[in-house]
Every structure is written in structure tokens, then in C-alpha cells.
Structure 1
């Protein structure tokens, strides 16, 4: 499904043969907001959800330098294509978790965000110069506070903060800072650490992904 004229403005729908869930889940891939990382990363997860009876959507969106506002606009348009009634959970990996949280803060239809090794604190990521100053490239002069999840809390949607102890791409400190900020601000959240690196989250055979699926209950069942 296309929601705009740009080639990256499309949303894949994975329809269960027999739906056993209320609402739907939207997968948002990561990649430090760079164009070479695509929605193909989210396909195995969406397929797994559909096999479990959960309607699943996989988002592609505009990325690249200065794309912060365009990404949010795209995510909001795509969210409008979700046809199921009931709760909407966003599962975002890495930079996808950043977009998921910003979308949730700007759209009340989102009831829960599951952050898989998420870039939830852009100020910290910027100070660390992560991925060759990816935050500065993303923002390109846009206000950081508008697009940094921890600056948007509390918000109505629940945030599940999952992170791997061996993550070498997004430091564990980001998750810890995010959990501390959530507690201080009264944000509804859950925080849990797991073994594994940055990529175990997007392997549908992993125990980390199984934890993400469990986090969907009881909202969708």
C-alpha cells in the first residue's frame, strides 16, 4: 500500500489466515535513519506475527539527512491505513524505536511502543557521536527536543524498553537513561535487559523476539 508519491512511502500488510488478536501491530525498522537500511529488515517479524494470528504492518518511510519531520509525517499517514479496530502497538528496532515513540506522542491511536534496542535519547546519542554523528544528520537543524523520545514523556502510550547487554551499536546506557527518565516523569513503562547484541531482536527465532511477542499481551488478546 502506498500512502504517498515517494517510492519509500509504502506500508506492507501481513494478514493472518485466522486472526486471533484485537487491533494490529506496526513494525518500524531501524538503520540509524540511513536510506540503505530498508523495510526488508522488518519482514520476518511481520510474517511471524501474522502466523500467530496478529494483523501486522511493516512500515517503509523516507530517511536520510534532514528527514526527521518527513519520517513523522510518513508514519502518521501510514498509521491512518491500519483498518483494524482495537489497540495499535508499534514495535521499533533501533532508530525505528525513536520514530515509534515520536509517532505515539503525536497520535493517540497508538496504545503501546515496544522499543528493541531503541535510540530513545537523542541528546546522549549526539554527544557520543553514534554512527558517525547520525543524530546531527537526521536533524539537520531541526529541534532535538521535538524528536527525542525522552523529551516527549509522559505520553499516553505505554513504553516497553528492551535492550541487549552486549549491544555494541546502541549503548546500554541509552536504555538505562530512558528508563530513569520514564520513572521520573511518570511515564507508563517497562524496562528489561536481555543477553544478546543489537540484532538478536529482529531474529524471529530468538528468545528476545519471543519477549516482544509476550509484551503484546494482554493488549491484543
Structure 2
């Protein structure tokens, strides 16, 4: 039986990058035709520096081959220069940079920790140091218009993930500590505290996921709305593998409606 983690190191064609800041991690990698329907994809890896965008290149190439213009966001991560609020500020800055290179609304998608960041960026803005001073007038926190959100196995409840100790302290590394120690940080960036997203949201999760339990998505959709797709034969990494049986569901969700 093939190791589902093989997709993380599978060779794939690199895209073309542009920067949105001075750090080597402040870049966006572009795939596909410039006039294709735009998809912004945020990679996962529990916000940790050891995991970068290279592991989603197979997915980005597959979407590009089907005609989409894909923007894979890189951002500063924990163990490097990331954490609160830097990681979140980078996502907003990257989206703003994407907005100068595309017109019209984008599909905003992400996997695991990237799914968390997609849900966060699409939510209404909050009064927080994370928000940029030049906040746009869009209803979402995102500085560019969003057509829909696709969250693949998202870490959709940070307080619960802290207490569940997902990936050995990943949330503590991101936010500096517990919800009790930093309640305002959790209020600012936890999708479980969101007041809702006013564009279509699709959450896809594998029943066999032992990295982010599927119950996270079941609870999130029950409380915040959206469409939930649970794939009974899929674990965590199959959702970003264009060779897996999950691919038709993932691609269909990401197509611009």
C-alpha cells in the first residue's frame, strides 16, 4: 500500500514566483495560464517552518493543467520568523499582492493549517493588531474579493486544537500559549470564534484523518454553515494528492462557479 505522505515529496514543476516582502518566505508561486480562473491556495504543515509550499506543487500543477491560474502563498511560519501576528499579516499581504495581478474574485483554498488561514482570511474583520491599517472595504478580512472558500481538513477550532495538542504543541507555537493566557489572540484568529462567512464555503475532510480529526469539520459546519463533504476512504494527505480518489471532489469544489 502506498504511503499517502508520498505526495509531500513528489517531484513537480515549479511555478513562477514574485515577492511581497523582504523575507525569502514572503513570496507567491504562480501556476497556469494568466487568464485562467484564479485560485489562491494556502499550504498547511501546522504553521511550522519545516513545511513549505513545495509539497502542494502537485496539486497546483494539476489545477493549472485544468486551466486555472493558481497562486500558492508562502508565509513566515513558527520555528522561523512566523507566529502571531506575523503569519497572519503575511497572509493578508500576500492576498493584497495577488490582487494586483488578477481581476475579479478568487477562490480561496487551503489545506490543514492553510485551511484554517483560508477560513480566517475570509471571515469579517475584527478589531485586532492583526488587521492592516489600510483595511479594504470588502466584507471579508481579505483585502481582495473572494468568490468562495474551500477548506481541506482545516484546523477550524484553535482552542480545541490547543487542548487536543495537535501535532505536539502546534497551536501554542503559533499563538504563544493557551486560550486562557491569550484570549484576545484566539478571538482574533480562531475560526470557531468567527461570526460567519458571507460567501459559499465548502469543507472537505477525510474520515480516516488522524492528524486533524473529521469531527472538527463536522462541528464547524454545524455551527457556522457551509457544505461538508466527508470522504470515507481518505486520510489527511489524500486531499492534496491529485492521484487520489479525493481529487474529483477537490477539483469540483475549487472550480469557479
With the length of structure 1 as denominator, give the TM-score of the two structures.
0.89
Q: Match of 1:81, SS?
A: helix
Partner of 1:50: 64
Q: Check whether the contact 1:16–1:52 (CA below 8 A) recurs between aligned residues.
A: no
Give the match's secondary structure for 1:27: strand
Equivalent residue for 2:222, pick from 163, 176, 180: 180
**1:3 corresponds to which residue?**
20
Moved more, 55-64 or 151-160: 151-160
| Aligned residues: CA RMSD | 1.7
Give how far 1:218 is off.
4.7
After superposition, what is the alpha-carbon deviation per residue over 1:33-92, rounded to whole angstroms, capped at 9, x for unaligned? 110001101211111111111111111100006613212211111112222222211221
SS in 2 for 1:41: helix
The aligned residue for residue 146 of structure 2 is 110
Q: Secondary structure at the match of 1:157?
A: coil
Tell me if the contact between 2:147 and 2:256 (Cα under 8 Å) persists in the aligned partners: no
For the residue of structure 1 that corresponds to 2:254, the secondary structure is: coil
Tell me what 1:63 maps to. Answer: 77
* Separation (CA, whole Å) in 2 of partners of 1:208 and 1:153: 30
| 2:186 is equivalent to residue 144 of structure 1 | yes
Q: Is 1:210 the counterpart of 2:234 in the alignment?
A: no
Secondary structure (helix, strand or coil) at the match of 2:108 reads: strand
Q: Give matches, 1:33-182, under 5 Å.
A: 33-64=47-78, 67-82=83-98, 83-105=101-123, 106-107=141-142, 109-140=145-176, 141=182, 143-182=185-224
Aligned positions, number: 211
3-state SS in 2 of match to 1:50: helix
- Of the structure 1 ranges 102-111 and 113-122, higher mean CA displacement relative to structure 2 is found in 102-111
Looking at structure 2, the residues matched to 153 and 203 of structure 1 have their Cα atoms a distance apart, in angstroms, of 32
Shift of 1:192: 1.1
Q: Whose Rg is larger?
A: 2
Matched residue of 1:92: which SS? strand
Cross-structure match for 1:186 = none
Q: After TM superposition, what 4+ stretches of structure 1 lie above 3 angstroms from structure 2?
A: none
Residue aligned with 2:234, SS: coil
| 8 Å contact from structure 2 (residues 44, 112) kept in 1 | yes
Structure 2: segments with no counterpart, 5+ residues: 1-17, 124-140, 177-181
Q: TM-score, normalised by structure 2?
A: 0.77
